Amino acid sequence: MKIMFMGTPDFARVNLENLINNGYDVCCAVTQQDKPRGRKMVLTPPPVKEYALSKNIPVLQPHTLKDGAFLTELEKYTPDLIVVVAYGKILPKYILDYPKHGCINVHGSLLPKYRGSAPVQWAVINGEKETGVTTMYMNEGMDTGDILLQQKFDILENETGGELMDRMAEIGAELLVKTLENLSDISPVKQDEKAATYAPMLKKETGLINWESSADEIKNLVNGLNPWPTAYFETEKGDIKIYSAEAESCGIKEKPGTVVSAEDTLDIMTGDGVLKIKELQLQGKKRMNAADFLRGCKIEKGTEF
């Protein structure tokens, strides 16, 4: 069975690597365009491209799929199955209909919960205690296809979105292989539309902290948006990003956004409890622990953000 693999970030690369390690015939890899990265904006290939080229797998990077020109590539490689993992573009009907065994997607949630582009991060932001990974047949909807297999697992205490993504990539890669090994014996299950929820795309503004929220809610936001786009709050000196924080209940009652301590940690009052900030970064400066930060950037107790 010839497989066309479509994916872009490291999450997808892990799945591609596991397919190759398990002897699957990947005829080509389709990924997004190289993009400028870092301060010097160096043009950098996606992780899927780097890995595919290292294994002498042909790489395709179409600018668009909408104009139908990609049909030429389908007819060239004639895949029996298309595997899609975090590709980043909607697949038109002519692609979904092409392979005789369909298109299979690996999605980072227990569908129908958290359909959309950022299911892993939103699960952490919303304080979920467990999540999972789903393999499904794709259709023209947004993550609405019939479910093949699912695997549930716990979200660890203080696990960040990035850490959960890395762990889920490995679990998802194994579930993908299990799905392909048993494809003829699996009975697809339709999703319950009434139970569907949505995980919208992350933007910088997603991370703007509302100090009226509880300390637990803000801590979850910090964890979920680490390493990107990160939770932050605005100050006269510039935005301050938060990479690590703890929530603490206390008897203090100050206006939300008020600094109640600025020693080893930067402690800020919230709508319910205190957020103890442990690692942070002032705009244009290095990321550092709170104690070092406060030695170089004096913040007085009673300051209001």
pLDDT confidence of residue 162:
98
pLDDT confidence of residue 252:
81
CB count in 10 Å sphere of residue 270: 24
Sequence-distant (6+) residues with CB within 8 A of 256 are 211, 212, 269, 270, 271
pLDDT band at 229 (very low <50, low <70, confident <90, very high): very high
pLDDT confidence of residue 41:
85
Give the three-state DSSP class for 179.
helix
pLDDT band at 38 (very low <50, low <70, confident <90, very high): confident
pLDDT confidence of residue 181:
98
Percentage of the chain surpassing pLDDT 90?
Answer: 95
State how far the alpha carbon of 30 is from the alpha carbons of 59, 62, 97, 101, in Å: 6, 8, 17, 18
Sequence-distant (6+) residues with CB within 8 A of 165 are 11, 108, 120, 121
Is it the case that residue 25 has pLDDT exceeding 80? yes
pLDDT confidence of residue 39:
76
37 or 96: whose pLDDT is higher? Answer: 96
Q: Cα–Cα distance between 69 and 28 in angstroms, integer?
A: 17
Percentage of the chain surpassing pLDDT 70?
Answer: 100
pLDDT confidence of residue 232:
98
- The residue among 255, 256, 260, 300 whose CA lies nearest residue 277 is 260
- Mean pLDDT over 176-200 rounds to 97
Q: Cα–Cα distance between 149 and 146 in angstroms, integer?
A: 10
3-state SS, one letter per residue, for 93-117: HHHHCCCCCCEEEEECCCCCCCEEC
pLDDT confidence of residue 222:
98
CA 301 to chain CA centroid, nearest Å: 36
pTM: 0.95
Note the pLDDT tens digit of each residue in 167-186.
999 999 999 999 999 999 99
Is it the case that residue 37 has pLDDT exceeding 90? no
Is it the case that residue 216 has pLDDT exceeding 80? yes
Residue 34 region by backbone torsions, left for phi larger than 0, else alpha for psi between -120 and 50, else beta: beta
Note the pLDDT tens digit of each residue in 244-302.
999 999 888 899 999 999 999 999 999 999 999 999 999 999 999 999 999 999 999 99
Domains of the chain are 2-199 (3.40.50.170), 204-296 (3.10.25.10)
| b/e code 86-116 from CB counts within 10 Å (16+ = b) | bbeeebbeebbebbebbbbbbbbbbbbbbbe
140 touches 180 (CB < 8 A)? no
